[in-house]
Structure 1
Amino acid sequence: MDRFHEMQIFVRIVARRSFTQAAEELMIPRATTTNAIKRLESRLGTRLLDRTTRAVAPTQDGAAYYERCVRLLADLDEAEGAFRGAEPAGLLRVNLQPTLARHFVFPALPAFLARYPRLQLHVGEDDRLVDLVREGVDCVLRVGQLQDSSMVARRAAELEQLTVASPAYLDRHGTPSTLADLARHRAVHYVSTATGRPYPFEFVTGSGIELATPPGVVSVTGTEAYTAAAIAGLGLVQVPRYRIADQLAAGLLRPVLVDMPPPPIPVSVLYPRQRQLSARVRVFADWLVQLFRDS
């Protein structure tokens, strides 16, 4: 077994935090992964991994070696591909915000895969923050303001948002015409899984962006539940227009406070900050950005 193969095994173990999962993905016996790490640690003269019955984690030396391995393997992959003139190939692991995936990405995926037939795509759907390195994810598509400066973030779109409620709710509570009216209304609270607190409503006014948190008795943590709660008449919500286009057309939801819309919500493509970006990630990220610009 050459050193690059040992590095590949080590990188996959760190990404998966598991010898067994790494072996399954690489389609090699688990004993091969164990022996490869033993040889690496012996040759380097240091322990790379802390092993317990529940998890595997890199040591301080292991974390430093992992970063170097990732760069070296990416360089090797890019160098060989450039000289072969090869098209992107292999497994690409991506994580997509669910409603964006269903509305924008999946309908266009057949054309992307026809263009790059040697790519294999593993798609996860999440609203939560994803640790790309720890979970072995190559690229994510997210909505909202971004906090993680360790990632490369490319702005793909800004989505128009609306404040809406069901006709039944508005018949019972009236239609708000000012921000002061919101104190007499109910909101469905969308709760951040990171902070455990509801997001405030935002309104673009002549004074800038103003925040409001109307009272409410229902809180949710998922986009589908958020829209369903509004349709059921449980309160006001703020959502991107694309997500409720069908419900608006069917009269299930009505916009309110249209002269004070929520600010547009950014959509970004994120991937790890690496000196040499793999061709797989590069073509997929470029395609996502262009897809949203065309849309």
Structure 2
Amino acid sequence: MDWEELHTNLPSLMTFLTVARLGRFTAAADSLGINHATVSRRINGLEKVTGQRLLLRSQSGWEITAEGRQVFEIAEEIEQSLAKLVSDDTSNAVTGTVRIGAPEAFTGHIAVPVLARVQREHPGLDVELFTSTQRARQNRSGLDLEIVVGKPEVPRAWERPLVEYQLKLYATQSYLDQHGRPATLQELGQHRLNYYVEAILLVQDLDAALTKLPQMRPGLASTNVYAHLTATLESAGIGLLPDFVADAHPDLVNVLSEEFAHPATYWAVVRQESLRNPAVATVYQALRDYADGGVSVQPGHSPTVR
């Protein structure tokens, strides 16, 4: 791509950058203040100019191809250079935007308190959190940092365990009074389970928890852990919930506490090239410090960072 082509396609490069980060054309259109057709036209035009397929559709949205990774990195460099032109900050303060994908429970109970502290120390740092419970993406997706459940295997990436927790069974006392408290795992077959939609549950460690349980009737199945929590608080069944989430609610009773607890671990995945960005390195280090501090997630309290 020569200078004339680059100059002409700057809007397309920035549009591609936004789609890669957000994973969806509609989300990119809303972010940029343009329509879906314009996003599609710009991406198609950029692919014609580069002669490469830059994006591929996956179950979780649009992901960057191997060829698109180089274009993405160039677009990031251009974005950072343009940001310097309009920045009044001439100090060495950490600035820029870090985009993190993480499950809802990790985001609400761990990431937000930790990152709020980082932002207080670095006012020029922006953080965008995208909540989802899925496997780590094999191709770079525009996320600077991913938090996943279970050990990931991603080429050219750093992987590190952050927080251990347990999935346990919970119900309200009113539910147990009405439907009976199961005394054994086998008796769970008479109850509804509030958990993920099994047909689309792609995280092995979360799916493995179900193999330890008898077949239960689906309760309110959802892709969102807080829906499981709310359904359980509303006495709509027994919830299979992270202990650090459920234990913050005194109305919930841990059912079969001696017979069942499924261990799980949140892992951080960050690609090597992302760590060259001081903003990403700062956020990653803050989460590492939290993990290295050995601080457990206390119900109803924000975690602290050393």
Q: TM-score, normalised by structure 2?
A: 0.64
CA distance in 2, matches of 1:60, 1:110: 33
Q: 1:104 to 1:11 in 2, by over 3 A?
A: same
Secondary structure in structure 1 of the residue aligned to 2:276? coil
Query: Are 2:152 and 2:267, in contact at CA under 8 Å, matched by a contact in 1?
Result: no
Q: 1:201 to 1:270 in 2, by over 3 A?
A: closer
Counterpart position of 1:291: 290
Secondary structure in structure 1 of the residue aligned to 2:284? helix
**Please, what is the CA RMSD of the aligned residues?**
4.6
Query: Are 1:14 and 1:58, in contact at CA under 8 Å, matched by a contact in 2?
Result: no
Query: Are 2:194 and 2:228, in contact at CA under 8 Å, matched by a contact in 1?
Result: yes
Mapping for residues 117-136 of structure 1, pairs under 5 Å = 117-128=123-134, 131=137, 135-136=141-142
Q: 1:262 to 1:12 in 2, by over 3 A?
A: farther
1:15 is aligned to 2:35: no
CA distance in 2, matches of 1:100, 1:256: 23
CA distance in 2, matches of 1:201, 1:60: 30
Q: 1:213 to 1:117 in 2, by over 3 A?
A: same
Q: 1:66 to 1:146 in 2, by over 3 A?
A: farther
CA distance in 1, matches of 2:133, 2:63: 27
Counterpart position of 1:243: 245
Query: Are 1:229 and 1:235, in contact at CA under 8 Å, matched by a contact in 2?
Result: yes
Report the CA distance between 1:157 and its aligned residue. 0.8
Query: Are 1:201 and 1:262, in contact at CA under 8 Å, matched by a contact in 2?
Result: no
Give structure 1 stretches of 5+ with no counterpart. Answer: 52-56, 77-83, 204-209
CA distance in 2, matches of 1:275, 1:201: 31
1:232 is aligned to 2:234: yes
One-letter amino acid of the counterpart of residue 47, structure 1:
G
- Percent of matched pairs sharing the same residue: 15
Counterpart position of 1:81: none
1:168 is aligned to 2:167: no
Counterpart position of 1:259: 258
Counterpart position of 2:71: 66
Counterpart position of 1:206: none
Q: String of CA shifts for 1:17-46, please: whole Å, max 9, x gaps.
A: 47x86x959xxxx9xxx7xx88x95xxxx6
- Is 102-111 or 283-292 further displaced after alignment? 102-111
Secondary structure in structure 2 of the residue aligned to 1:141? strand
Report the CA distance between 1:155 and its aligned residue. 0.9
One-letter amino acid of the counterpart of residue 223, structure 1:
V
Report the CA distance between 1:211 and its aligned residue. 1.4
CA distance in 2, matches of 1:119, 1:275: 15
Q: 1:245 to 1:180 in 2, by over 3 A?
A: closer
Report the CA distance between 1:147 and its aligned residue. 4.4
CA distance in 2, matches of 1:200, 1:103: 22
Query: Are 2:63 and 2:140, in contact at CA under 8 Å, matched by a contact in 1?
Result: no
* Aligned with 2:51 (options 43, 47, 53): 47
Give structure 2 stretches of 5+ with no counterpart. Answer: 20-24, 56-61, 82-89, 296-302
Query: Are 2:186 and 2:214, in contact at CA under 8 Å, matched by a contact in 1?
Result: no
Q: 1:11 to 1:266 in 2, by over 3 A?
A: farther
Q: String of CA shifts for 1:116-155, please: whole Å, max 9, x gaps.
A: 233222233333457596652211233x224452343221
Report the CA distance between 1:239 and its aligned residue. 1.1
Counterpart position of 2:158: 152
* Aligned with 1:96 (options 73, 97, 102): 102
Query: Are 2:170 and 2:238, in contact at CA under 8 Å, matched by a contact in 1?
Result: yes
CA distance in 1, matches of 2:185, 2:71: 52
Query: Are 1:238 and 1:262, in contact at CA under 8 Å, matched by a contact in 2?
Result: no
Query: Are 2:168 and 2:240, in contact at CA under 8 Å, matched by a contact in 1?
Result: yes
Query: Are 1:132 and 1:272, in contact at CA under 8 Å, matched by a contact in 2?
Result: no
Report the CA distance between 1:175 and its aligned residue. 2.2
Secondary structure in structure 2 of the residue aligned to 1:269? strand
Q: 1:238 to 1:183 in 2, by over 3 A?
A: same
One-letter amino acid of the counterpart of residue 202, structure 1:
A
Secondary structure in structure 2 of the residue aligned to 1:220? coil
